Amino acid sequence: MSTTTASGVSAEAAAPAPASAATALGILRQPKTVLFGAGQRRQLPYIVRAIAKHLLVTTDARMATTPEFLDIISAVEAAGVQVSIYAEAEPDLPREDVVAVVERFGHTEVDAILGIGGGSCMDLAKVVSIVLANGGDVRDYYGEFLVPGPGVPVVTVPTTGGTGAEVTCISVVFDRDRGMKVGVASPFLEAHTAVIDPELTVSCPPGLTAATGADALSHLVEAFTGRVKNPSPDDLDTKLYAGKNRLTDVFARQGLELLNTSLEAVVADPSDLAARSDTMLAAYCAGMSINTAGTAGAHAVQGAIGNLTHTPHGFGISALLPSIMRFNLPERVAEFAEIGRILGVADPASPLEEQAHAGILRIEALLEALGAPLDLKTLGLSPDDFGFVADQALLATRLTANNPRELTRDDVLAILEHAYAGDRSWWTV
Ligand SMILES: [Fe+2]
């Protein structure tokens, strides 16, 4: 039977029948080229020379003074490419940064952008790219699939091991006037090339390593235990997140295995390049997973907590994760049990519930080893704000829709109470 979908496209069936695990959906979005490995930043002049005559670089003040950054710029210029630099990117990407870059460089002949640094430096490059090419203000593109056409090519180079922004096609912008973070989510934000060089993370400070490591781990957990959506053709055309699927699971399993050993090794010796490489590869896997599966409950609840407490994204997520995992457990016993086996702490012969508990406890042990907080009290959140946080979380429908268990306001309040108290004796199964 033919039906007409919300986008006006006639489809054989708007909602296909649920697939079995073996025939289920798989979907990834990714840069055209991903280059990974120690020292691979030295390929950047060749990559940039092929796509640009005038390169805009977006980074932050810390990165801009490092010898590695200055070497990259010299090498790109030596390859005959004109370089302009915006080195004022701020954490949590304020909208003002996007406006400033577009004002400063919109009239130039910039034909590619290199975003190098943490998540906000790369998110800035991605979102400026589509504003430069499509015109208007970044506000015109808040939401999903609202960008009308491609941007100028973007090259992403991460220098922290966690956000996955080098491969995700979303930029998260803090809009001060609206008092909230908003996403610009479109396949047109996908980078042309991602260059992931673990040597760039060796000088990453311990606090940042902890926050971004916790973030990467949470991405893997939320993608692997997320909702299976069985999207219709029209859903795939209008919504960024298709839910947990066969291809994101491949990346999630690999990422979990890598972080199981590398996070503790990086904490023990921040100069351990092999461990940094594994963490970086895992963060990339996590980025690939969330780019189509999406993040879920912990990310939905963290937004308002970050705004209220001015604490790093990864620490807010870490503090919420024990309670969110326990809340979701009844719907995801098999997946948490598999996590337990991947992390080498679950006996395959034991009951699934035991394996799942072991998996959750191991994730918490990894967060603890990083020095990431496991309760909200440590972050300075006041119980008086729980109601506000719950209301804000339920507005993040793009994320709550990925949570495997339905989240009501009372559910979020209960999660906040357990997370505030650091109550890890709470087992739902
Ligand atoms: Fe995150």
CA 293–ligand 1 middle distance (angstroms): 13
Last residue of a domain, one of 172, 201, 230: 201
CA 3–ligand 1 middle distance (angstroms): 37
CA 398–ligand 1 middle distance (angstroms): 14
CA 372–ligand 1 middle distance (angstroms): 14
228 and 186 in a single domain? The answer is no
Under 8 Å between Cβ of 191 and 51 = no
- Matching residue, tokens 């798989």: 26
119 and 188 in a single domain? The answer is yes
212 and 194 in a single domain? The answer is no
155 and 268 in a single domain? The answer is no
133 and 210 in a single domain? The answer is no
What is the per-residue pLDDT across 144-161, written as a single tens digit (0 to 9) for each? 999 999 999 999 999 987
pLDDT at 181: 86
CA 159–ligand 1 middle distance (angstroms): 16
Mean pLDDT of 294-308: 95
CA 18–ligand 1 middle distance (angstroms): 29
CA 100–ligand 1 middle distance (angstroms): 25
The domain tally of the chain equals 2
pLDDT tops 70 at residue 216: yes
CA 219–ligand 1 middle distance (angstroms): 6
CA 337–ligand 1 middle distance (angstroms): 23
Q: Is residue 17 included in any domain, yes or no?
A: no
CA 226–ligand 1 middle distance (angstroms): 14
Rounded CA separation 235/179 (Å):
29
Q: For residue 234, what is the domain's CATH number? A: 1.20.1090.10
pLDDT at 162: 77
Mean pLDDT of 106-131: 96
218 and 124 in a single domain? The answer is no
78 and 169 in a single domain? The answer is yes
CA 298–ligand 1 middle distance (angstroms): 9
CA 111–ligand 1 middle distance (angstroms): 30
Last residue of a domain, one of 148, 177, 201: 201
Under 8 Å between Cβ of 165 and 123 = yes
pLDDT at 163: 86
162 and 48 in a single domain? The answer is yes
Q: For residue 145, what is the domain's CATH number? A: 3.40.50.1970
CA 14–ligand 1 middle distance (angstroms): 31
Rounded CA separation 386/410 (Å):
11
CA 318–ligand 1 middle distance (angstroms): 10
CA 425–ligand 1 middle distance (angstroms): 25
CA 321–ligand 1 middle distance (angstroms): 12
Q: Is residue 394 included in any domain, yes or no?
A: yes
Q: Is residue 12 included in any domain, yes or no?
A: no
Q: Is residue 11 included in any domain, yes or no?
A: no
Q: In one letter, which amino acid is 284?
A: Y
CA 120–ligand 1 middle distance (angstroms): 12
Mean pLDDT of 161-173: 92
187 and 211 in a single domain? The answer is no
pLDDT at 5: 52
Under 8 Å between Cβ of 371 and 206 = yes
What is the per-residue pLDDT across 68-88, written as a single tens digit (0 to 9) for each? 999 999 999 999 999 999 999
Query: Is residue 193 within a helix (H) or strand (E), and if so which, with residue range?
Result: strand 193-196
CA 319–ligand 1 middle distance (angstroms): 13
pLDDT at 29: 97
CA 313–ligand 1 middle distance (angstroms): 7
Last residue of a domain, one of 201, 221, 244: 201
CA 222–ligand 1 middle distance (angstroms): 10
pLDDT tops 60 at residue 265: yes
CA 185–ligand 1 middle distance (angstroms): 15
- Assign 212 to helix, strand or coil: helix
CA 285–ligand 1 middle distance (angstroms): 13
pLDDT tops 70 at residue 129: yes
What residues make up the domain containing 269?
A: 206-421
State the pLDDT confidence band at 204, using cuts at 50, 70 and 90.
Answer: confident
pLDDT at 22: 79
292 and 403 in a single domain? The answer is yes
Q: Is residue 24 included in any domain, yes or no?
A: no
CA 314–ligand 1 middle distance (angstroms): 6
DSSP H helical ranges for 200-332 = 206-224, 233-238, 246-268, 273-293, 297-309, 313-328
CA 224–ligand 1 middle distance (angstroms): 14
CA 113–ligand 1 middle distance (angstroms): 23
CA 300–ligand 1 middle distance (angstroms): 10
CA 351–ligand 1 middle distance (angstroms): 31
CA 412–ligand 1 middle distance (angstroms): 18
Is residue 324 exposed (0-12), middle (13-18) or buried (19+ Cβ within 10 Å)? buried
As a whole number, the mean pLDDT across the chain is 94
139 and 247 in a single domain? The answer is no
Under 8 Å between Cβ of 319 and 379 = yes
What is the per-residue pLDDT across 234-245, written as a single tens digit (0 to 9) for each? 999 999 999 999
95 and 227 in a single domain? The answer is no
Rounded CA separation 318/54 (Å):
41
CA 93–ligand 1 middle distance (angstroms): 14
Q: Is residue 426 included in any domain, yes or no?
A: no
Q: Is residue 9 included in any domain, yes or no?
A: no
Q: For the residues of 98-138, what is the DSSP string, one character each?
A: HHHHHHHHTTS---EEEEEESHHHHHHHHHHHHHHHH-S-G
- Output the pTM of the full model: 0.94
Q: Structure tokens of 344?
A: 């080498």
Q: Is residue 4 included in any domain, yes or no?
A: no
Under 8 Å between Cβ of 16 and 44 = no
